[in-house]
Amino acid sequence: MAKQLTVKFERMLQSQGFGSRRYCRQLIESGRVSVNGSKQTDPQRELVSENLQFTVDGTRWQYRDKVYLLLHKPIDYECSRNPQHYPSVLSLLPPQLQERGVQCVGRLDADTTGLLLLTDDGPWLHQLTHPKHHVPKRYLITLKHPCDESQLQALHEGVLLHGETEPCRAKNLEVRGERLLAMSIEQGKYHQVKRMLAAAGNRVEALHREQFGKLTLGDLAPGEWCYLDDAQTTLAEALE
């Protein structure tokens, strides 16, 4: 049987984004934290991290060594800790998750909506964003002009973007309306979808990411988020 990992109470609380170790110690000593339904006031107590649940001021949390989040990004939010013109998507998360230093897995423009992943797991973030892993992203695109056959053929065969040496090809092209198109890409170049449509002779009026790997938004409304384990999935299956 594998040895169970233990962690000191105050360090556990700090790792979950509840502030400095000193502040976490004060929370515990003042009786504001319960562990697995029982109030605990010793900051140095050793806790078993597996299946650890705790409440702070009546709000229930589950210990997570790393967090993996799925968020339905609304329009007019920036994927940045230091936004310039609009609020940060991080403002849609609880302060504890912001404190943990979660980062966006890639970025969506302020005027782009849809599926956004966030994590504090650096290697996992790198795995998803590195070009060699070819994780597909699927977008729903509202066009300014009707999409004709020549444009579809150009997207399928590949268009050369300014400053690039290799053409970018769309995968799984699907016409959903006269000015509505769905397609997948595996790269993550700057403004790639917008540039591809411009190179094909059209213009993007609205852009929505509806899928990342095998992950979809489900019934999440704009601005809502969930833990990926709450979505009853595993990362390996969702992103294979």
Across 166-183, b (16+ Cβ under 10 Å) vs e yields: eebbbeeeeeeeebebbb
Mean predicted confidence (pLDDT) in 78-102: 94
pTM above 0.85, yes or no: yes
Per the structure, the count of domains in the chain is 3
Instruction: Quote the CA–CA distance of 93 and 97 in Å, as a whole number.
Output: 6
Catalytic residue set: 109
The pLDDT assigned to 126 comes to: 82
Q: Are residues 50 and 17 in the same domain?
A: yes
Of 22-31, 56-65, 159-168, 200-209, the poorest mean pLDDT is in 159-168
Verify that 81 and 126 share a domain, yes or no. yes
Task: DSSP letter for 101, please.
Answer: T
Whether 142 maps to a domain, the answer reads: yes
CA-based nearest residue to 27, from 69, 61, 51, 67: 61
The residues with which 69 forms a beta bridge, in sequence order, are 118, 227
Find the CATH number of the domain harbouring 53: 3.10.290.10
The backbone region for 114, taken as left when phi is positive above 0, alpha when psi lies in -120 to 50, beta otherwise, is: left
Provide the residue range defining the domain that includes 12: 6-62
For the residues 221-238, what does the mean pLDDT come to? 71
The verdict on residue 105 lying in a domain is yes
Residues recorded for the chain: 240
**What are 53-76's pLDDT values in tens digits?**
999 999 999 999 999 999 999 999
Question: In the 3-class helix/strand/coil scheme, how is 102-143 assigned residue by residue?
Answer: CEECCCCCCCEEEEEEEECCHHHHHHHHCHHHCCCEEEEEEE
Burial label, 58 (beta-carbon count in 10 A; 0-12, 13-18, 19+): exposed
Average pLDDT, the chain: 90
Q: State how far the Cα of 86 lies from the Cα of 30, in Å rounded to an integer.
A: 38
Q: Could you tell me if 89 and 202 lie in one domain?
A: no
Tens digit of each residue's pLDDT (9 = 90 or more) over 199-213: 999 999 999 999 998
Is 224 in a helix, a strand, or coil? coil
144/201 same-domain check? yes
For residue 239, is pLDDT > 60? Answer: no
Q: Does residue 232 have a pLDDT over 90?
A: no
Q: Do residues 98 and 45 both lie within one domain?
A: no
Do 140 and 208 share a domain, yes or no? yes
Q: Which of 21, 41, 62 is the last residue of a domain?
A: 62
Whether residue 37 is contained in a domain is answered as yes
Q: Is 205 helix (H, G, I), strand (E, B) or coil?
A: strand
Residues 57 and 102 in one domain: no
What does the pLDDT look like over 109-150, one tens digit per residue?
999 999 999 999 988 888 777 767 678 899 999 999 999 999
CATH code where residue 232 lies: 3.30.70.580
Within-domain flag for 1? no
Residues 92 and 203 in one domain: no
